[in-house]
């Protein structure tokens, strides 16, 4: 390789496992947000919201909204928890949280609009990548 060719080669910096997991959770969270936003355009959705109805959960109550908020806070919190938790704890928290959200998506995708299924496939792929990445967390030598 000539020196000029070598000088134009871009270097790929290795990503640590916590940073890789955090980035995957950012992507998952963004897909969830876009799916919920686009869902507002589904005919009748806004009217059901104005009528105080929330999908299969029925009537909107403080408990239903709190439960939904807790559920949706998990992926957002995983962005930072993946970076700050001890590796052994982070590994298992990532595996459990990603498995939970994989299951949620697989249960909510059937019969959904195509945009939701499209984002759901991406979300499932990302959460499976989180499980795979956390499962394969490198061990310290020695």
Query: Given pLDDT bands bounded at 50, 70 and 90, which one contains residue 58?
Result: confident
pTM over 0.85: yes
The predicted model gives 19-47 an average pLDDT of: 95
Give the Cα separation of 34 and 31 in Å (integer): 5
Q: Which of 50, 80, 54 is nearest to 66 (CA)?
A: 54
- Each residue's pLDDT tens digit, 102-135: 999 999 999 999 999 999 999 999 999 999 999 9
**pLDDT for the residue 70:** 96
């Amino acid at each position: 390789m000539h020196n000029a060719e070598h000088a134009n080669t871009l270097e790929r910096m290795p990503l640590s496992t916590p940073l890789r997991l955090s980035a995957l959770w950012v992507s998952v969270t963004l897909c969830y947000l876009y799916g919920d936003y686009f869902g507002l355009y589904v005919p009748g959705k806004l009217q059901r919201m104005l009528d105080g109805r929330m999908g299969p959960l029925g009537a909107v109550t403080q408990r239903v909204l709190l439960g939904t908020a807790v559920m949706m806070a998990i992926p957002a919190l995983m962005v930072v928890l993946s970076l700050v938790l001890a590796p052994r704890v982070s590994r298992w928290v990532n595996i459990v949280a990603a498995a939970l959200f994989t299951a949620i998506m697989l249960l909510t995708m059937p019969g959904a609009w195509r945009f939701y299924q499209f984002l759901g496939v991406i979300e499932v792929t990302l959460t499976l990548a989180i499980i795979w990445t956390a499962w394969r967390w490198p061990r310290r030598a020695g």
